[in-house]
Structure 1
Amino acid sequence: MTAQGIAVFDIDGVVRDVGQSYRRAIADTVEQFTGGAFRPTLDQIDGLKAEGIWNNDWLGSQELIYRYYEGQGQSRESISLTYDEVVDYFQRQYRGANLEDPSQWDGYINQEPLLMGAPYLQQLAAAGIAWGFFSGATRGSADYVLQRRIGLQFPPLVAMGEAPDKPDPLGLLKVVEQLTHSLGLSPTLPVLYAGDTVADLYTIREAQSQAPDRPWWAVGVLPPHVQEPGPRRQAYEQRLWDAGAHRVVSRVTDLTPGAIGQLFREGA
């Protein structure tokens, strides 16, 4: 099978539904550190994500806390809050009381519906489309969904802490380089990156500027919590288009081998 190209996927909102896990943990964390005075809605969290620089949910939670207190007339410097406190509380909501042992995780991570499975990835590989993952999730969380739940064996992955936060493209470039080297692929094959946030799409733009010898395609994926037709979906979709999406799909599995092949051929 002749290689057609490379598809790299974000994880949160693309591989798994995090509307009642990560986003719920953000809301819990903000509520905890504002003394119960403010719990952000999904729309407010989406609004923060739309700024394109809050891919790290711990920093995003901290930012929402700071903005609440600033709205009450307090300066950030006057707020008694550390990043480590935010991370610890968030992780206990998301993973559960036992933070280090994945077999004991009983937090929101166990309530994440899967949005893709191993058969989908097998179809891509059979069509000559190499695949991997670049995610802002921690290595432990990403391995949990990819290996324990989907059943992938050591999938190509760059996770949080292994590259700068998006939209810096280094992590994406690392995954592409790994696949190119391990599979003996041409260094000019097209690459598709599928993500559900503005930062994901900005990442493709930056990758194109740093590695212009190959075509780069940005695909926006609508996360499950904006699937219902209406103004909310339309606004989210428009943000993805405005951030540079070449395509916007309702779910990642809409990116069939045929759809990906057609996208790649458009750049031929």
Structure 2
Amino acid sequence: MKAIIIFDIDGVIRDVGNSYRKAISDTVEHFTDSGWRPTMEDLDNLKSEGIWNNDWEASQELVYRYFEAMDKTREEVGLDYDHIVEFFQKRYRGKNPQLFDGYIADEPLLVSPSYFEQLVANNIAYGFFSGATRGSAEFTIKHRLKLDNPVLVAMEDAPSKPNPQGMFDAISQIKSTPGNIPVFYLGDTVADMYTVAKAKEVKPERNWVGVGILPPHVQLSQTRQDDYAQKLMEAGAEIVLSNVEKLDLQLIADLIK
């Protein structure tokens, strides 16, 4: 085995600009009584704080901040977190969640199955560590990408990023993983890169490589793309790429020399 690659899913494997992110904006708009609908840039600014990996919590936080700007305390607002989750899920998963008939049904994929076949053929193992729910993650990697029961650590399985425990768990589920094998983590947020930095602190004996991936929505503007890439680099990325498949075999070899 030459290396292990652990992938985040949202913004890396699938484009969530019109699904997860749209669901956040819908939720905030609903719970502020149509007072505010966050833009993509608003969401990027929140995510850049590095701690809002859970989109339900991110939605709640944005609602609270809206009312705080109107001089209301969080106690006065008194949001019901379960109601936020329920509303969000109806938008994202759908009113019939087992059918995945919400925004999730229209998420563009950002990688092809052949990419994973190429990794395996060249002795590179892989798995997934995502803040998405297991149902949502499996819908993408098993149903849509047709990957055969890959290693997956989802929201329900580990503490939220930037805690690296989920990445450690994913690695431990991959067979034959001695500590000297380099590990790449591909993610699109500051929290993802912080996760790699934390992993280096906890297990410095292993070679950890953080690879930032630019989500599609920031690539529409060169200015936003440059700004987003800079934030990923400052958070610990060794390189920032426009797409997962840019991490080809030659670049993998170059990064672990």
TM-score of the superposed pair, with normalisation by structure 1: 0.94
Q: Distance in 2 between matches of 1:138 and 1:148?
A: 15
- In structure 2, stretches of 5+ residues that fail to align are none
Aligned match of 2:228 in 233, 236, 258? 236
- Residue in structure 1 matched with residue 78 of structure 2 by the alignment: 80
Partner of 1:93, secondary structure, is helix
Q: How does 1:203-222 map to 2 (within 5 A)?
A: 203-222=195-214
Q: 2:171, 2:177 within 8 Å by CA — same for their partners in 1?
A: no
The answer to whether residue 153 in structure 2 is matched with residue 158 in structure 1 is yes
Which of 51, 54, 62 is equivalent to 1:53?
51
Q: Which amino acid aligns with 1:126?
A: A
Which residue of the other structure, out of 8, 17, 20, is the alignment partner of 1:19?
Answer: 17
Aligned to 1:95: 93
Native 8 Å contact 1:15 1:116 kept in 2:
yes
Deviation, structure 1 residue 16: 0.1
Please, which of 101, 109, 119 is the counterpart of residue 114 of structure 2?
Answer: 119
The one-character-per-residue Cα deviations of 1:112-159 (angstroms, maximum 9, x if unpaired) are 000112110011111111110000000000000000100012110100
Amino acid at match of 1:173: F
The CA deviation at 1:8 is: 0.5
Q: Secondary structure at the match of 2:150?
A: coil
Asked if the contact 1:129/1:257 (under 8 Å) is kept, the reply is no
Q: Aligned-pair distance for 1:229?
A: 4.2
Q: Distance in 2 between matches of 1:145 and 1:122?
A: 16
Q: How does 1:160-175 map to 2 (within 5 A)?
A: 160-175=155-170
| Aligned counterpart for 2:101 among listed residues 83, 97, 106 | 106
- Residues 19 and 225, structure 1, Cα contact 8 Å, conserved in 2: yes
My pick for the range that moved more, 251-260 or 131-140, is 251-260
* 1:132 and 2:117 correspond: no
Secondary structure of 1:173's counterpart equals: helix
Q: 1:64 offset after TM fit, Å? A: 0.2
For 1:206 and 1:177, how far apart are their aligned partners in 2?
A: 17
User: C-alpha displacement at 1:232, in angstroms?
Assistant: 1.1
Tell me by how many angstroms 1:177 deviates.
Answer: 1.3
1:188 paired residue among 173, 180, 188: 180
The match for 2:140 is 145
State the AA in 1 paired with 2:104. I
Structure 1 alignment gaps of length 5 or more: none
Q: Which residue of 2 aligns with 1:199?
A: 191
Greater CA deviation, 200-209 or 252-261? 252-261
Shift in Å, 1:80: 3.2
- 3-state DSSP of counterpart to 1:161: helix
Report if aligned partners of 1:4, 1:264 keep a CA contact under 8 Å in 2.
no
Question: Alignment identity in percent?
Answer: 51
TM-score for both structures, normalised by structure 2? 0.98
Matched residue type, 1:86: I
Over the aligned positions, Cα root-mean-square deviation in angstroms equals 0.9
Q: Which moved more, 1:214-223 or 1:252-261?
A: 252-261
Query: 8 Å contact 2:6–2:127 — kept in the other structure?
Result: yes
Structure 1 runs (4+) deviating above 6 angstroms are: none
